[in-house]
């Protein structure tokens, strides 16, 4: 018997199949199934962010399972909430799904979304969203969170602070290199990953790319410890550090011990923050210092890095086609 496809069922049936995977995870006053969710918020300020994953520039079905894709779609949004110093509370998910997509893949995607919330941000849940049909699989997630104190913006770094990071740097980039270097055929078309051909280290790098696990719980901890600036490292350390430096009107001096993958690889979703030297909390490691503004936004070991130092989808997508 052939597997049931999205085009074989109506919208209500598919939504019920998704809700069955998510059932029990919600702590909302009103959860999925009504016109909008109603959420309890302990404070007056709600943090909101959104991110979209599109088949092609952001993921390939040959390489990502439904569970991996759902987990990653949640993780990248949870990281943005954490980077403000907030605690994630809810996700709203919009899916645009081809008719030929197996229903089981969509159920696995929902399971990945829920697993990411359970593992990375306990108490956060998927509270609603939207479902439509499209030739291109697209996952758009809106994440909400609550602040216990003041938001930590990327514009607060001060001369004399130290630069610190929580989470891996460079692993996701190495994972992407493995995918493009070893799991495409002669025409450049992606082919399924054969894990048996990979070492333990390569599997870890691949997991960092396909199923990232940012240190979400450390966002509020950093805020409580007095972080002066913070942001999610999604496009590469040098590029994102440049954004922080420009917003703060300072120069960030990074350690020469950081390798090329750590400096320029994207999709790590680590937390980059600045602190007074005495305030760095456990889980963060110091990788540099904040200096008064000089001619360069960022230096590495005293040298100005060349190039953009990270991922720009409008400039780099053509080079990644295949």
Whether residue 261 is annotated as binding a ligand: the answer is no
Whether residue 154 is annotated as binding a ligand: the answer is yes
Whether residue 150 is annotated as binding a ligand: the answer is no
Residue 48 CA from chain centroid, whole number: 14
Q: To 10 degrees, what angle do helices 200-210 and 171-182 make?
A: 100
User: What's the DSSP call for residue 197?
Assistant: G
Give phi and psi for 260, each to the nearest 5.
Answer: -60, -40
Whether residue 311 is annotated as binding a ligand: the answer is yes
Residues 322 and 191 sit within 8 Å (Cβ to Cβ): no
Please give the angle made by the CA atoms of 64, 27 and 24, to the nearest 5 degrees.
60
Whether residue 130 is annotated as binding a ligand: the answer is yes
pLDDT score for 36: 54
Whether residue 35 is annotated as binding a ligand: the answer is yes
Whether residue 153 is annotated as binding a ligand: the answer is no
Token couple for 190: 């992606």
Q: What stretches in the chain show pLDDT beneath 70?
A: 1, 24-28, 31-39, 42-44, 307-322
Structural domains of the chain in order of their starting residue, each with its CATH number: 10-146 (3.30.1330.10), 162-320 (3.90.650.10)
Question: For residue 292, what are the CA distances in angstroms to 158, 241, 254?
Answer: 8, 15, 14
Nearest CA-CA partner of 27 in 125, 145, 148, 141: 125
Whether residue 10 is annotated as binding a ligand: the answer is no
pLDDT score for 142: 96
Nearest CA-CA partner of 163 in 122, 81, 222, 221: 222
* Beta strand spans in 98-135 (E): 125-133
pLDDT score for 322: 45
């Amino acid at each position: 018997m052939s597997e049931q496809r999205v085009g074989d069922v109506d919208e209500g049936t598919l939504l019920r199949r998704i809700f069955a995977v998510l059932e029990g995870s919600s702590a909302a006053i009103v959860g999925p199934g009504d016109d909008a969710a109603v959420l309890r918020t302990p404070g007056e300020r709600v943090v909101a962010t959104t991110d979209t994953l599109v088949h092609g520039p952001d993921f390939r079905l040959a390489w990502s399972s439904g569970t991996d894709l759902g987990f990653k779609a949640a993780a990248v949004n949870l990281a943005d909430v954490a980077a403000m110093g907030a605690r994630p509370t809810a996700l709203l998910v919009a899916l645009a799904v081809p008719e030929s997509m197996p229903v089981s893949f969509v159920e696995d995607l929902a399971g990945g979304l829920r697993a990411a919330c359970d593992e990375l941000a306990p108490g956060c849940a998927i509270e609603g969203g939207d479902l439509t049909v499209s030739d291109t699989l697209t996952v758009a997630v809106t994440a909400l969170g609550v602040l216990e104190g003041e938001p930590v913006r990327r514009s607060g770094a001060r001369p004399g602070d130290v630069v610190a990071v929580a989470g891996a740097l460079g692993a996701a980039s190495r994972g992407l290199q493995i995918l493009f270097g070893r799991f495409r055929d002669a025409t450049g078309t992606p082919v399924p990953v054969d894990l048996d051909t990979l070492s333990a280290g390569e599997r870890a790098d691949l997991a960092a790319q396909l199923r990232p696990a940012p240190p979400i719980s450390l966002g509020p901890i950093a805020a409580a410890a007095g972080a002066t600036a913070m942001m999610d490292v999604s496009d590469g350390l040098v590029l994102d550090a440049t954004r922080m430096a420009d917003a703060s009107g300072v120069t960030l001096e990074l350690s020469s011990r950081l390798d090329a993958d750590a400096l320029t690889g994207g999709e790590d979703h680590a937390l980059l923050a600045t602190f007074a030297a005495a305030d760095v909390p456990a889980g963060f490691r110091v990788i540099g210092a904040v200096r008064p503004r000089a001619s360069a936004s960022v230096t590495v070991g005293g040298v100005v890095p060349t190039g953009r130092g990270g991922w720009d989808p409008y400039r780099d997508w053509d080079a990644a086609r295949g």
